[in-house]
């Protein structure tokens, strides 16, 4: 009998069989392989399959053997363990800035990294109750473009918008372009941000990536950060609460001892903590004074106190007063 046109693809179909149908809990016998290959109009003899399996091992596949009544084979290890894939699926599903559509596409691709049977375990990881997802489908490609600009040391141009109450895009600067030097991307408070440097003003500014549009990589080198400016992404994100801007201040805060974990979580373990008395401690922190900073302070109620500077204390009181006025 003449061999079919698919005969030369036998070892490729065999490799796909191992990757899609087998894992530590699911194996296949030589007879299973013969039946499966016949579905693709490929003839296979037991002897040739033994040779193919050895070739796949030489190629790098970790093929294990299970012996009972029959000798079965399976793919014993992969680039990603199932637990790692579950973590990736959860990260994608929980990412606010990734849309529902893009989440589904990414999760399908992650599922292809394991067997079809184990992929069912990943599907049970997908649902996250009441998760608010982004509505800008282009963010996935925005991030890729911005990474390229940073790697190529190039400036970028882009448009920036806000949403109206009708969920329509309203571009800032009347639709005009921004020109900036991208420094790094930061994932903070469930959103992606681009941090840029403006050499003319010697300032760092951040933008929500999902609100950027028409991004272009320019044929111009990025502005060099001034020699007396030492940019540190960790320090920047610590003092910028929820990535809101504001005036830079060194603020002294007093906390009850019970809040030490929250302070370390927010500002890092290297923060200097000064004991005030047996029940409280004090820290000095650089922050951008803004509404999100005041909201962060407010959540701890009477267990926190702004000690200085006076202008920040006054702004905090004004902030609370304006809130109280909403409830006559």
Among 49-63, 92-106, 148-162, where is mean pLDDT lowest?
Answer: 92-106
Task: State the average pLDDT over residues 88-100.
Answer: 76
Q: Please, which pLDDT band fits residue 92 given cuts at 50, 70 and 90?
A: confident
What ranges do the domains of the chain cover? 7-75, 82-123, 139-231, 236-325
pLDDT at 93: 76
| pLDDT above 50: residue 135 | yes
Top-level CATH class of 139-231? mainly beta
Which residue reads 């300032």 in tokens? 203
Angle at 90 between CA 86 and CA 93, to 5 degrees: 140
- Residue 161 backbone phi and psi in degrees, to 5: -135, 165
Residue 51: CB atoms within 10 Å: 11
Task: State the average pLDDT over residues 235-261.
Answer: 77
What average pLDDT does the chain have?
A: 85
pLDDT at 189: 64
| pLDDT above 60: residue 184 | yes
Q: Please, which pLDDT band fits residue 102 given cuts at 50, 70 and 90?
A: confident
Predicted TM-score (pTM) of the model is 0.57
User: What letters, b where the CB count within 10 A reaches 16 and e where it falls short, cover 105-131?
Assistant: ebbeebbebbbeebbebbeeeeeeeee
Task: State the average pLDDT over residues 48-65.
Answer: 95
Angle at 123 between CA 122 and CA 125, to 5 degrees: 65
Residue 55 CA to residue 124 CA, distance in Å, equals 36
Q: Which residue from 131, 123, 132, 136 is spatially nearest to 89, judged by alpha carbons? A: 123
pLDDT at 114: 92
pLDDT at 1: 45
Torsion sign over Cα 178, 179, 180, 186 = positive
| pLDDT above 80: residue 90 | no
Where is mean pLDDT largest: 43-52, 97-106, 245-254? 43-52
Between residues 302 and 202, the one the model is more confident about: 302
Top-level CATH class of 7-75? mainly alpha
Task: State the average pLDDT over residues 235-246.
Answer: 63
Q: Report the CATH architecture of 236-325.
A: 2-Layer Sandwich (3.30)
pLDDT at 78: 92
pLDDT at 200: 83
């Amino acid at each position: 009998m003449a061999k079919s046109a698919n005969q030369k693809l036998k070892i490729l179909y065999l490799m796909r069989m191992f990757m899609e149908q087998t894992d530590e809990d699911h194996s296949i016998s030589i007879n299973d392989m013969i039946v499966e290959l016949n579905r693709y109009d490929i003839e296979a003899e037991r002897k040739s399959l033994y040779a193919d399996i050895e070739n796949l091992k030489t190629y790098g596949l970790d093929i294990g053997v299970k012996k009972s009544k029959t000798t079965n084979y399976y793919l014993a290890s992969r680039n990603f363990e199932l637990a790692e894939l579950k973590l990736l699926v959860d990260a994608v599903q929980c990412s606010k800035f990734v849309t529902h559509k893009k989440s589904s596409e990414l999760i399908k691709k992650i599922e292809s990294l394991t067997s079809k049977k184990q992929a069912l375990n990943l599907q049970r990881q997908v649902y996250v109750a009441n998760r608010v997802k982004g509505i800008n489908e282009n963010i996935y490609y925005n991030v890729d473009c911005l990474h390229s600009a940073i790697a190529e040391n190039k400036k970028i141009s882009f448009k920036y918008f806000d949403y109206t109450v009708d969920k329509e895009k309203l571009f800032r600067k009347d639709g005009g372009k921004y020109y900036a030097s991208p420094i790094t991307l930061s994932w903070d408070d469930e959103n992606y941000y681009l941090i840029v440097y403006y050499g003319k003003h010697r300032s760092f500014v951040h933008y929500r990536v999902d609100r950027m549009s028409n991004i272009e990589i320019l044929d111009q080198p990025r502005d060099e950060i001034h020699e007396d400016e030492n940019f540190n992404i960790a320090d920047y994100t610590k003092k910028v609460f929820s990535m809101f801007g504001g005036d830079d201040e060194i603020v002294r805060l007093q906390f009850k001892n019970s809040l030490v974990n929250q302070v370390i979580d927010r500002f890092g373990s290297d923060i200097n903590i000064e004991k005030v008395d047996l029940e409280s401690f004090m820290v000095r922190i650089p922050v951008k004074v803004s509404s999100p900073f005041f909201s962060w302070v407010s959540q701890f109620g009477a267990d926190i106190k702004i000690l200085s500077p006076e202008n920040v204390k006054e702004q905090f009181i004004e902030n609370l007063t304006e809130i109280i006025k909403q409830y006559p």
